[in-house]
Amino acid sequence: MIKISVIIPCYNVSLFIDRCMESLEKQTIGMSSLEIILVNDASKDATLGKLLLWEMKYPDNICVIPLEKNVMQGAARNIALGYCHGEYIAYLDADDWLVPSALDKVYRAAKKNRAEIVNYLSKKVYGDPANDDPSTKSGKKDRMIVINSNEERLGYFAHGDAPLLRGCWDKLFLREFVMDLGLKFAEGVFDEESLFTTPAYLHMSRVYELNEYLHRYFQNSISSTYNLMIDLKRRDDNAKTWLATYEELKRLGDLETQHELIEWFFVINYYIRSFIFAESRGIKYDVETVNVMQDTVHRLFPEYRKNKTLMGMKLYKKALELVDLEVNEGNIDEYNEKWLEICRENQGGI
């Protein structure tokens, strides 16, 4: 039986993919329990050749999907989902890796607690990965969360100790749960994960928090994440993904049943985090885009200032003031500077 399907989108990662794959090869759960789906997203380097060598080594457990056209991570993950047979699904980026005990621990936690999602911790690694501290300890206790109502769900996130961020690579998902909800990633954008994870959060009833640093997030200096040209292109991607997320939550009927939580999520993620991302990288907004984003918030959530959870968060007080500030050519520079000040006060982001 395949316990976990591991999905890895790959684009020009010939320098890193072997390290990633070796970390899976060393998993104590055993390769026979894994199904590794590697999507070669029309790489222009030696990535495909390396992937095929791994497939030849483990033909029963590794599947390479070669794409002729680059579709970006969201679409690559969606394509891979159709090839999954595992009881659970894990996502991994090709320049990251897992500690040897990772998948065994998350699988055991999922089975024992009948969890739809197991959340674990990720540690950023700078410089030479060989210098990484292999410790997984965090000092926090594991805990099982059972959500029986939308009120309990709101309380779980509102208390400020919910560890669930938008990323997919520090979580294990029950495949049946993913398929029943029809979860998909946003396509054609860089910030694609919220469309997948947010509906999952609004429908999960059992989530286990495994508070160990099992995932290593490699801070690659040549990665597209830190390429200014790419950052300029992706400035509006987060906003696009959250508009798609809004439509998906509307389709699922969640806007009526979980309005306060969605309103809170949307204002913070669609508006505030879009500006935080841009300003922390020195990217400025123009008047037209700011006005469109402000109008969108007011159109979709005209009474957002009555949201007690949102307005009660002191961390976002200054940022929320900028949602209603009239922006024109005369004060656009001052407006962008205010976001930069917020970034500085909160060490690059909130």
Q: For the segment 234-249, what is each residue's pLDDT rounded down to a tens digit?
A: 899 999 999 999 999 9
CB-side exposure of 11: number of CA atoms within 13 Å?
17
- Dist CA 262 CA 198 (whole Å): 9
Please answer whether residues 265 and 158 qualify as being in contact, where contact means their C-beta atoms are separated by less than 8 angstroms: no
d(CA 124, CA 132): 9
Residue 227 has pLDDT above 60, yes or no: no
Burial class, 6, CB count within 10 angstroms (exposed 0-12 / middle 13-18 / buried 19+): buried
DSSP string, 44-100: SSSHHHHHHHHHHHSTTTEEEEEESS--HHHHHHHHHHTT--SSEEEE--TT-EE-T
Mean local confidence (pLDDT), 57-71: 98
- Report the distance separating Cα 37 and Cα 65, nearest Å: 7
Mean pLDDT computed over 89-116: 98
Question: What would the pLDDT profile of 139-166 be if each residue is shown by its tens digit?
Answer: 999 999 999 999 999 999 988 678 888 9
Q: How far apart are CA 122 and CA 210, in angstroms?
A: 11
Confidence at 221, pLDDT banded by 50, 70, 90: low
Report residue 184: phi and psi, to 5°.
Answer: -140, 155
Does residue 19 contact residue 94 with C-beta atoms inside 8 Å? no
Average pLDDT over residues 211-229: 73
Alpha-carbon gap, residue 231 to 191, rounded angstroms:
11
Mean pLDDT computed over 328-337: 96
pLDDT for res 228: 56
Tokens of 78: 């969606």
pLDDT above 70 coverage of the chain, percent? 95
Domains and CATH numbers, the chain: 4-225 (3.90.550.10), 234-345 (no CATH)
Q: Is pLDDT above 70 for 226?
A: no
In the predicted structure, residue 225 carries a pLDDT above the cut 70: no
Global confidence as pTM: 0.94
pLDDT at 126 over 90: no
